[in-house]
Structure 1
Amino acid sequence: MLFLSFQVRAGRTGHQGYLVLDGLEVKQNDTEGGMSTLDVATDLFVGGVSDLSLISTFSVEDEPVGFTGGVRELVLNGNDFDLTETGALGGANVGDWDGTACGYKVCQNGGRCSALSGADSDSFMCTCPPPWTGPVCNQSVYCVNNLCEHESLCFSDLVTGSYDCFCPLGWEGRYCDKQVGPSMTTLKFVGKSYLKYRDPKFNTRNLRYTQVSFNFTASGNEGLILWMGKAEHDDDDYLAVGLQAGHLKIAVNLGERLSLPLTFRNVTLCCNKWHYLSISLNSTLIQVFLGDERVLFEDVDPFERYVAMNYGGLLYLGGFELHRNISTVTSGLFTKGFVGDVKDVGLYQDPRQLQFLQNSEGFNVYKSNE
């Protein structure tokens, strides 16, 4: 019996959905209705459900039936699901399609997997393409004997045939061997950087009122400067600030992504000039000052369906954790990390500005000389 494999991609933006089969878009439709969000934080079923009678009759053309075949990879919003007995919460009548230890992505970075015969059926060997090595081809040959210190991360540079050390917050130098002093008041972001700050006063904050301010200077036209929110699920609340084509871009989600991103196009904020930005969100009213000028005053939800921003006590500067794709996390609002400097970050009406080496973690963030 011959089995053919297909790659299927399906998705949606607002009311518009699409379906792509092996790179060919086969369907694109708009749906009607006032709702535009989809909760994907609940249980996810693959191949069928425990009770087919629970499936809505409006979601299928004929009687609902379970899937017969194989599923090799499942990615939802950039998250790769582990389709094994250890990764699943439950299931029934599901077998191992391959039958060997060479499942999907056992060998990384294009490595070729060979199942080894013998008593141990779980044995396999990866043949790695250059410049990768290691049992599952996840180590660069340039990083095998790296000198990166203090739990820094080694990233290979294929152009130069060497490597770079990405330093954890508080360390700098070629090998992350120099400790940053307590006077780290201005942060330098290089694009593949992030700082994650946990607000120790979160439980006492009034979530109906949000205020954040900072000074920044940009070295590029694009990038996420600040994300105030948990950034875990599509429906999480957030306040996002960044640059798009050199213009200030701000997005707010108090629930269901009801408001559209706001872009201020009257001035270009690149390059290498300091700007002061102050943002306040009072219930659904957002007010933005760029320097002394109020550039935005708008009601993001006149019907006041949602009036509080639950940011979970988290604030990101410059980007997200290095393994996360910015475009995926922000649903396309921003595509790159910030390149430039940030200083004087203040939350609410706190008398002290944020102390970056306290309540924070991050990588590739350095002390700026301004």
Structure 2
Amino acid sequence: MNTSKTIAFPENKDLPSFVTFPIPNGLEHSTKLWLKFLAKDISQDGLLMFLGDVTMDTDYFIIDIVNQTIRLRYNLGGGEFALSSERLNNIYDIYDLLVQRHGANATMQVNNMTHVKKTTTSKFEDLNFNSNSELRLGWVNGQPQFVGCILSLEINDPENMKKCWRKKQSQFSKLSKRVEVLGTKALSGRGVTGCPPHDLCPLDPCGSEGHCDITATFFQCRCSQNFSGKFCSEKKSSCLSSPCLHNASCADVEGSFLCSCPIGWSGNKCEKQITISDPSFNGTMTSWMIFDPVTLRRRTEVKVQIKPMSQTGLIFYVHNDNDGNNCDFLSIYLQENYIFLQFSLGYNDITILKHPLFVHNHQWHKISAGRIRNLGHLKVSNLDHYYDDNDITIKSTDQSGMFALDVTSSIYLGGYPNMGMMVGNLPSVGFTGCVRKFEVNDLKFDLDYYWGERSPEVNSYDVTIHTASNVITAIASHHGKDHDAVSIVNARLLVVMTMAYVLPCLGLTTMSVFVIGDGRGIIVMS
């Protein structure tokens, strides 16, 4: 059972009601909030929320009711931007408002109405607060008072978000946890009370998955079995039943679950045992490998062979995940069929190297990239064909005046779990294709049995000797192939299977499988 903390703003023309709270951290460049409210009369203008200095001499962010619409106004220092919702027809109703801002651009949605957007270019992109800035609800001098009830106000809390992330980030969904403002300690206020429960329950604040109970001073939502939260709007985790096997991690995904399998296991619940060699990546945020950190401070040397299946994708990435103000990183990636090395040693200065060799899909290439102190180098070779640009090494010097790469993260190969939160101007997709012979600073990583984690979408395309039943069942059932011959030889079962088998990391291969009765198998590739 969930007790609701609410704030009612009674009408008082002489002393308008209001309440103030501290401004949550990290809202300067990106702001996302969820507001649930009930207006006594939606046709009556009123201030819902004010963020900034009440004198309005500096930057501000305002949500109010005007002419029976919800309006957003904000000023970042270069003039006011504004956008308004559709006209609200239900005079007495509960409204859900979602507002998102990134830089000078913003979107707003009320209930299930159409999103309204403000897209613009401005040299001013941050909300700058001063010592007098506050978060105020209900009324501010010079604005009409809101009369009604605010049921909930949640604001994103991008804790530990790097400054370089905030400047680059463009996807609101990547912001971190939500903070319920009404559950924090108010700084000041006047004339506010709790919302009368007998006014709210008839309006069904608990939705279709909850029942509203009236008590003497508040209402409570009793949620159905599969839902929780203040208003029974949060579906319970699909991971509560521990569906993922073999110590795999579980994440909720659109009403279902996603298992991140440990090395050697695959399947929806990590129930299938596999062997990995020359791993193949599918380019999504669920396709990557992670390895233990390696000391890269003075020298970084990455060697890897790739066989791409698409023209763009992240190959290698390390960054500093301990210091929120440290934006050092190093990355190797494929962009429009060319290999790039990108790194920063400090002060947001980024060095970018582009190799002139055109990288062909479905062909193996060898990459050698890195830096010694502030000098970066990049060499790319096509292993299947010779081109004039093979074996050319290009170099460039970082201009920040720094010489050390201060990275602390694990090593990511083939992708990154949260592509939108990477430092640098990097591709938003992971690598698609095959990888082999991976080493960092002369340390060779065994891609068959490495000691890191593996995302659930890394596939293996190696051919190994398995037991008879595994080989025949897996290959024949998956590809719908019939056995070419089944015969009895000396009372022992002999199965011969020949097929054209497409292995993305090996090419088109003819395979014959011979299996004898004791389960031993022989695989012949040609």
Report the equivalent of 1:253.
344
Equivalent AA in structure 1 for residue 345 of structure 2: L
The alignment status of 1:363 with 2:463, answered yes or no, reads: no
How far apart in 2 are the matches of 1:98 and 1:245? Answer: 58
Change (3 A) 1:30 1:24: closer
Opposite residue 272 of structure 1, the aligned amino acid is H
Structure 1 position 355, deviation (Å): 5.5
Partner of 1:25: 119
1:220/1:270 contact within 8 Å kept? no
Q: Aligned to 2:279, which of 187, 191, 206? A: 187
Q: Could you tell me which of 239, 242, 248 is aligned with 2:330?
A: 239
TM-score by length of 2: 0.48
**Offset at residue 288 of structure 1 (A):** 1.0
The one-letter code of the counterpart of 1:341 is C
Shift of 1:187: 1.8
Matching residue within 313, 334, 341 for 1:223: 313
Q: Which residue of 2 aligns with 1:73?
A: 155
Residues 137 and 282 (structure 1), Cα distance of their counterparts in 2 relative to 1, 3 Å cut: same
Aligned AA for 1:210? T
Q: Work out which of the residue numbers 358, 364, 368 in structure 2 matches 1:274.
A: 364
1:348 deviation in Å? Answer: 0.8
Secondary structure at 1:186's aligned position in 2? coil
Residues in 2 aligned to 1:277 and 1:98: alpha-carbon distance in whole angstroms: 64
Inter-partner Cα distance in structure 2 for 1:28 and 1:115 = 47
Cα distance, 1:282 vs structure 2: 0.6
How many residue pairs are counted as aligned between the two chains?
308
Counterpart check, 1:210 vs 2:292: no
- Which secondary structure does the structure 1 equivalent of 2:134 belong to? coil
Q: How far is 1:215 from its partner?
A: 0.8
The alpha-carbon deviation at position 299 of structure 1 amounts to 0.9
The equivalent of 1:341 in structure 2 is: 434
CA distance in 2, matches of 1:86, 1:307: 47
What TM-score comes out, normalization by structure 1 length? 0.66
- Aligned residue in 2 for 1:320: 416
Distance 2:263 2:210 in 1: 40
CA distance in 2, matches of 1:243, 1:198: 23
Gaps of 5+ in 2: 1-43, 49-63, 65-69, 73-98, 109-116, 139-152, 159-165, 167-173, 227-231, 382-389, 463-504, 506-526
Q: Residue type matched to 1:244 in 2?
A: Q
- Does structure 2 conserve the Cα–Cα contact (< 8 Å) formed by 1:236 and 1:255? yes
Verify the 8 A CA contact 1:319 1:338 in the aligned structure 2: yes
CA distance 1:348–1:272, shift in 2 (3 Å): same
Q: Which residue of 1 aligns with 2:221?
A: 123
| Distance in 1, Cα, partners of 2:242 & 2:129 | 47
Counterpart position of 2:272: 178
Unmatched runs of 5 consecutive residues or more in structure 1: 12-17, 32-37, 39-45, 53-63, 129-133
Deviations 1:161-192 (A, max 9, x none): x99865333212465323344xx442221223
Shift of 1:99: 6.6
Q: Secondary structure at the match of 1:261?
A: strand
Report deviation, 1:93.
Answer: 4.6
| SS in structure 2 at match of 1:312 | coil
For residues 197 and 169 of structure 1, what CA distance do their matches in structure 2 show? 12
Task: Provide the rounded CA distance (Å) in 2 between the counterparts of 1:362 and 1:67.
Answer: 43
Distance in 2, Cα, partners of 1:293 & 1:243:
17
CA displacement, residues 282-320 of structure 1 (integer Å, 9 cap, x when unaligned): 11101111126134211122xx52111122152111222
Question: What is the identity percentage for the equivalent residue pairs of Structure 1 and Structure 2?
Answer: 17
Matched AA of 2:136 = T
1:286 is matched by which residue type in structure 2?
G
* In 2, Cα distance between equivalents of 1:331 and 1:287: 18
Q: Distance in 2 between matches of 1:94 and 1:179?
A: 61
- SS at 1:83 equivalent: strand
Aligned Cα root-mean-square deviation (Å) = 4.5
Evaluate the alpha carbon distance shift between residue 274 and residue 85 of structure 1 in structure 2; reply closer, same or farther with a 3 A threshold: same
Separation in 2 of the partners of 1:339 and 1:87? 45
Note if 1:300 corresponds to 2:398. Answer: yes
Aligned-partner Cα distance in 1 for 2:208–2:346: 45
Aligned residue identity for 1:263: K
Using the alignment, how far apart are the partners of 1:147 and 1:135 within structure 2?
23
- Secondary structure of the equivalent of 2:420? helix
| Structure-2 separation of matches of 1:289 and 1:342 | 17
Q: In the TM superposition, what is the alpha-carbon distance from 1:227 to its structure 2 partner?
A: 0.3
Higher-RCO chain (CA-CA 8 Å, sequence separation at least 6): 1
> How many angstroms apart in 2 are the aligned matches of 1:317 and 1:98?
53
Contact 1:215 1:277 in 2 (8 A): yes
Are the aligned partners of 1:126 and 1:137 in contact in 2 as well (CA < 8 Å)? no
Match of 1:284 among 368, 371, 374: 374
- Secondary structure of 2:404's match? coil
Paired residue secondary structure (2:421): helix
**Alignment CA distance shift 1:94-1:235 (3 Å):** farther
Distance 1:225 1:28 in 2: 34
Distance 2:182 2:289 in 1: 32
What is the CA-CA distance between 1:349 and the residue it aligns to? 2.5
Q: Give how far 1:277 is off.
A: 0.5
What is the CA distance between 1:97 and its match in structure 2? 11
* In 2, Cα distance between equivalents of 1:139 and 1:238: 34
1:164-223 CA-partner distances (Å, limit 9, x unpaired): 865333212465323344xx4422212231212113xx4xx4611111111111111121
